[in-house]
Structure 1
Amino acid sequence: MQQFSDTEMSALTQAVVHHLDEWKISAEAMLCVLGLPEEVRPRHMQQYRQGDKAFPQTEDIMHRIDHLVGIADALRTTFPFSSQMRVMWLQKPHRRFQKRSPLTVMLDEGTDGLMKVRIEVDCAYGYAINDALQAQAMKATA
């Protein structure tokens, strides 16, 4: 896992909170999606937003951040001219998620849900995962 300096982690924290703010989700949902420790309260999100505090660099949180940034980038590519469409896509029930919204999948399933949503919206990531799984299967049978 790559380690970031305090300055880099502060900037990354602010960028991730900015994405989550654009998605118009509550502070409680932000805490859940990020998998922050239980002692972090919704009111603390303002400290992260302003750069007064940075997310901890645990493996789980860094994986979640990677997926969130990937989802945000893919949504910007898919809907380059409309932030409203990005929010709608996240909140609208989706057939591939058994009529649940992508946001619900992320909240209910944690890191696995983030990966599922990222695979759905980011075809390049989906192909990379598929290729890695196929290579692993080939290696196991050899």
Structure 2
Amino acid sequence: MIESGKTYSKEEMTEISKAVMLYLDSWKLSNAEVISILGLDPNIRTRHLQFFRTGDKPLPQEGETMQRIDHIVGIADALRTTFPFSDKMRLLWLRKPHRRFRKNTPLAVIMEKGLNGLMKVRIEVDCAYGWKISEEMAKAQQASNS
């Protein structure tokens, strides 16, 4: 799990980068999709993705990039828990239309909505994260009513 606000060492970010790229590669994405999901500069050269994969260069440790990484890791962990024995089912879940996404695929939601899409998909697949968000929203509502 990625800790919000924590500054990671270069070694830690390198390991995080390799793991995130492994997750994204298991989703069978194009380089352009990987760049978009990570929220990287669209002009980044695709060879940089290989540097992230091999650990030659870590992903940028910026606010939104780290939020995206947190959601990617959360989605990957939840899919691994939901489908512990099947990589194919994890991929199918990401690419199958869902009624909660108005018959769009989770991957389409992520691509269209960026960071918000990652959060929506994570809430759908990771019930513990969904409960946490619901509790935080309820507390915020109570505080505003006080």
Normalising by structure 1, we get a TM-score of 0.98
* 2:90 is the alignment partner of 1:90: no
Extract structure 1 runs of 4+ deviating beyond 3 A: none
User: Distance between the aligned counterparts of 2:98 and 2:36, measured in 1?
Assistant: 21
Q: Percent identity?
A: 51
Output one character per residue of 1:82-127: Cα deviation in whole Å (capped at 9) or x when no partner.
0000000000111111111000101110000000000000000000
For 1:55 and 1:131, the matched residues in 2 are separated by: 31
Amino acid at match of 2:76: A
Q: What is the deviation of 1:47?
A: 1.0
Q: Establish whether residue 116 from structure 1 lines up as the match of residue 120 from structure 2.
A: yes
Secondary structure at the aligned position of 1:90 is classed as helix
Aligned length: 142
Q: Distance in 2 between matches of 1:99 and 1:122?
A: 19
1:67 equivalent in structure 2: 71
1:3 aligned residue: 7
SS of residue in 2 equivalent to 1:47: helix
Deviation at 1:38, TM superposition (A): 2.8
Q: Following superposition of structure 1 onto structure 2, how do residues 1-142 of structure 1 map, counting pairs within 5 Å?
A: 1-142=5-146
For structure 1, which runs of at least 5 residues remain unmatched after alignment? none
Indicate if the aligned counterparts of 2:36 and 2:42 stay in contact, CA closer than 8 A.
no
User: Residue 20 of structure 2: SS of its match in structure 1?
Assistant: helix
- In the alignment, the residues of structure 1 paired with residue 44 and residue 65 of structure 2 have an alpha-carbon distance, to the nearest angstrom, of 13
Q: Does the 8 Å CA contact 1:27/1:43 hold for their aligned counterparts?
A: no
Q: Distance in 2 between matches of 1:42 and 1:108?
A: 21
- When normalised by structure 2's length, the TM-score is 0.95
Deviations 1:8-28 (A, max 9, x none): 000000000000011111111
Partner letter of residue 106 of structure 1? I
State the secondary structure of the residue aligned to 1:80. Answer: coil
Question: What SS class does the counterpart of residue 70 from structure 2 fall into?
Answer: helix
Check whether the contact 2:83–2:89 (CA below 8 A) recurs between aligned residues: yes
